[in-house]
């Protein structure tokens, strides 16, 4: 629109030109401009707010964790912790020697850990030198006792023969006195008395000699018996050490794998038994186990033991070998709950054992292990995260994503294992639910 102009009056000839007239500026145009700016700014603000709200809504939707309903099998398992042990095994210990003078038992030879042995193989041998030296001394002592008994027998026989000879002499004196006594008829009175006294004296001497022979025989027999008892004790001493010497070599009674035990050395260090270690009587040295029959010994809280049944399948794992898993089954359930001084008095656990059905050579005794025992199972059911299922008034529900957002929907649930829940009614495969309530 062209701007309007007003003619400027021209001065008459001979007159001074008139001063220009100043007009006041108009306020219409600035007001109009200001109004336009206000309207435009308001429109821009409304647009930005709408866009921001839409973006925030999209961000919230994007941040919501969701899960797709899938069909599969649901397993409920109970985890049991424990340690591995062998079902068939033999403990090999340092022998209990009968001879107290045997000296220290020092390991001379030892089977390698993990070695497979057969019945009759030597798995442990102790140094026999000190026992052999003592046995030689004991044998020499036995020979001395045997010689002493033989010498006593000869001396006793000689002494008894001398006494028997003296007894025969005394008997002959009695017989002579008796014969002389028969001649009393032709003797004088004095001779008669003398013969009578001689006979009585001979008989008394004979009786005394008989008693002396018997007492001497008993005395010599007692001395000989004492010597024989001493010899017998020495024989038993030798036999004891000979048996102990045989015990120093230990052979495997069964076929299996060698597992060495640990021991504490002076200073508190716990080390594996090795060649050169000194062992005390009865101290464990090794186990020989059947690696084909391994088990896990664990405990289950008494509140959960009612869910267990003999023969339930399990998945077994070893803490020492995270990638190794084995098959197992529940082998036994204890009848009496037990506790320990490290637990609350009211906490009671039931001992259970799980048999490993497919062990390998990595499964050895005293390893920390676990077993996931299969308690229950539902096949071909719809599965959602357990955190996606809520409960209100005894009714379970989930939030399902629709075109308008997430809507609440009632469902019927089945088993749950703490991670997943089986949905029996209310959902379809492929629907998306909110994973966290």
**pLDDT value for 52:** 58
Sign of CA dihedral 10, 12, 18, 22: negative
Question: Does residue 419 sit in helix, strand or coil?
Answer: coil
Give helix 189-247 / helix 129-181 axis angle, nearest 10°.
Answer: 170
CATH topology of domain 70-83+290-434: Elongation Factor Tu (Ef-tu); domain 3 (2.40.30)
Q: Across 237-302, where does the E strand assignment appear?
A: 249-251, 256-260, 262-264, 270-272, 278-279, 284-289, 294-301
Residue scoring higher pLDDT (310 or 97)? 310
- From residue 18, alpha-carbon distances to 7, 8, 25, 159 in Å are 14, 10, 21, 192
Report d(CA 161, CA 170) in Å as an integer: 14
**DSSP classification of residue 306:** G
Range with the poorest average pLDDT among 9-13, 222-226, 256-260, 348-352? 9-13
Residue (of 17, 201, 205, 16) closest to 8 by Cα position? 17
**pLDDT value for 57:** 44
Report d(CA 255, CA 252) in Å as an integer: 7
Residue scoring higher pLDDT (89 or 15)? 89
State the pLDDT confidence band at 43, using cuts at 50, 70 and 90: low
| Core vs surface per residue 333-355: b (16+ CB within 10 A) or e | eeeeeeeeeeeeeeebbbbbbbb
Query: In the predicted model, what is the mean pLDDT of residues 124-131?
Result: 91
> What percent of the chain stands above pLDDT 90?
54
Name the H helices within 100-188: 129-181
Alpha carbon dihedral 56, 57, 59, 65, in 10-degree steps, equals 150
> Can you give the residue ranges of every domain in the chain?
70-83+290-434, 89-127+249-287, 130-237
Query: In the predicted model, what is the mean pLDDT of residues 164-175?
Result: 90
**pLDDT value for 62:** 46
What is the DSSP pairing of strand 256-260 with strand 262-264? Answer: unpaired
Tokens representing 350 are: 């039931």
pLDDT digits (tens, 9 = 90+) for 51-82: 555 444 444 444 578 999 999 999 999 999 99
**CA angle 69-400-434, nearest 5°?**
75
Residue scoring higher pLDDT (436 or 89)? 89
**DSSP classification of residue 305:** G
Residue with tokens 């866009």: 51
pLDDT digits (tens, 9 = 90+) for 220-275: 999 999 999 999 999 999 999 899 999 999 999 999 999 899 888 777 788 999 99
pLDDT digits (tens, 9 = 90+) for 304-332: 888 999 999 999 999 999 989 999 999 99
Report d(CA 401, CA 129) in Å as an integer: 86
State the pLDDT confidence band at 111, using cuts at 50, 70 and 90: very high
**What phi-psi label fits residue 170: left (phi over 0), alpha (psi between -120 and 50 degrees) or beta?**
alpha
Q: Residue 122 pairs with which residues in a beta bridge?
A: 251
- From residue 215, alpha-carbon distances to 165, 195, 220, 221 in Å are 16, 30, 9, 10
Query: In the predicted model, what is the mean pLDDT of residues 408-432?
Result: 92
Report d(CA 263, CA 416) in Å as an integer: 47
Q: Within 13 Å of residue 308, how many CA atoms lie on the same side as its CB?
A: 27
Query: In the predicted model, what is the mean pLDDT of residues 424-436?
Result: 91
The listed CATH number (3.40.50.2300, 3.30.70.141, 2.40.50.100, 1.10.287.70) that belongs to domain 89-127+249-287? 2.40.50.100
State the pLDDT confidence band at 21, using cuts at 50, 70 and 90: very low
Residue (of 356, 274, 265) closest to 313 by Cα position? 356
- From residue 195, alpha-carbon distances to 88, 166, 177, 220, 297 in Å are 95, 22, 7, 37, 103
**pLDDT value for 1:** 40
- From residue 177, alpha-carbon distances to 168, 194, 203 in Å are 14, 10, 9
Residue (of 255, 167, 243) closest to 206 by Cα position? 167
**pLDDT value for 34:** 64
Query: In the predicted model, what is the mean pLDDT of residues 116-133?
Result: 92
Q: Residue 300 pairs with which residues in a beta bridge?
A: 350
């Amino acid at each position: 629109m062209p701007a309007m102009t007003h003619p400027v009056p021209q001065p008459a000839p001979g007159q001074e030109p008139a001063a220009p007239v100043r007009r006041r500026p108009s306020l219409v145009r600035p007001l109009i401009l200001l109004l336009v700016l206000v309207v435009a700014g308001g429109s821009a603000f409304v647009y930005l707010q709408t866009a921001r709200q839409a973006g925030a809504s999209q961000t919230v939707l994007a941040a919501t964790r969701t899960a797709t309903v899938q069909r599969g099998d649901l397993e409920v398992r109970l985890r049991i912790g424990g340690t591995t042990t062998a079902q068939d095994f033999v403990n090999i210990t340092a022998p209990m020697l009968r001879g107290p003078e045997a000296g220290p038992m020092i390991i001379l030879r030892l089977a390698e850990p993990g070695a497979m042995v057969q019945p009759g193989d030597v798995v442990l041998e102790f140094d026999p030198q000190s026992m052999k030296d003592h046995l030689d001394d004991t044998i020499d002592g036995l020979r001395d006792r045997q010689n002493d008994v033989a010498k006593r027998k000869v001396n006793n026989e000689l002494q008894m023969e001398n006494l028997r000879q003296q007894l025969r002499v005394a008997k002959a004196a009695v017989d002579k006195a008796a014969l002389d006594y028969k001649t009393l008829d032709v003797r004088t009175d004095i001779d008669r008395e003398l013969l009578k006294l001689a006979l009585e004296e001979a008989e008394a001497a004979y009786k005394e000699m008989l008693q002396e022979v018997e007492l001497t025989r008993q005395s010599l027999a007692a001395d000989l018996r004492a010597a024989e008892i001493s010899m017998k004790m020495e024989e038993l001493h030798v036999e004891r050490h000979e048996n102990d010497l045989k015990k120093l070599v230990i052979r495997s009674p069964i076929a299996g794998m060698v597992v060495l035990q640990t021991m504490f050395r002076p200073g508190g260090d716990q080390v594996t038994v090795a060649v050169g270690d000194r062992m005390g009587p009865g101290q464990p040295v090794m186990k020989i186990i059947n690696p084909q029959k391994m088990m896990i010994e664990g405990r289950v809280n008494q509140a959960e033991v009612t869910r267990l049944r003999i023969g339930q399948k399990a998945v077994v794992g070893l803490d020492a070998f995270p990638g190794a898993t084995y098959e197992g089954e529940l082998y036994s359930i204890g009848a009496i709950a037990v506790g320990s001084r490290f637990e609350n008095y009211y906490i009671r656990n039931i001992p259970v054992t799980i048999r490993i059905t497919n062990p390998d050579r990595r499964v050895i005794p005293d390893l920390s292990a676990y077993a996931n025992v299969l308690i229950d199972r539902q096949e071909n059911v719809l599965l959602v995260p357990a955190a996606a299922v809520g409960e209100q008034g005894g009714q379970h529900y989930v939030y399902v994503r629709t075109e308008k957002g997430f809507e609440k929907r009632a469902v019927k649930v089945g088993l749950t294992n703490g991670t997943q829940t089986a949905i029996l009614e209310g959902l379809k495969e492929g629907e998306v639910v909110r994973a966290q309530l």
